[in-house]
Structure 1
């Protein structure tokens, strides 16, 4: 079982306040507690206004990496922000992208995504995944795409 600690999330009122106040101590405490409790990854979800989300995510990533060597799951509905974080090498260790957005997944596949937290029963999401892998040439000749289409995994 892979455990992703989800407590560094701006949707949680105390974390939202800590983000607004730049309360490093609270963020560090929550990261340390999750690491000590056995998390395999630490989720980083600023859940802020779009105009400050990048700076907030970078700040949180730096704090998380100061506390633990666990990989980070970066979480945002903005695929370009996630791609930028990955391309800039902000993560010390390979982590994961946590988003349910098809556009995000497409950009993440291009950036090297090799696993996804998604609904495999969604023909739209599965079709998007197969198409992204084919277009990014990770599916040589589109064989997996064609096979999945013929099986009716997506339409």
Structure 2
């Protein structure tokens, strides 16, 4: 099996698990690109996607921190690449739920006692727990790689 074939299979599985299909295709295409970087035109051609689909997919991946965007020196073209911290590890190094947790905690005063308040409280507590645990998990991952 080639790297490209495997990337297509993994992208299909990511989509089956709920990850948007086009961003999954683009992410996995970057994963198997030797340089880990491609322009929008290269991504469109390699993935057989329209420029608009690539643009939207890259925007989504950028929001998650799974790709980064740089400008090709001397041009107006962008090049998209995998970040220094692997995308799959970014969930361990970024507090993605801080804003949601702050909204819940700030709004709980106005929510009357009962199941909705209990569920929202537990949600905020879970995100607080993740924030506390993720750095240790990242350190364990790094140690396992040494």
TM-score normalised over the length of structure 2:
0.30
Larger radius of gyration: 2
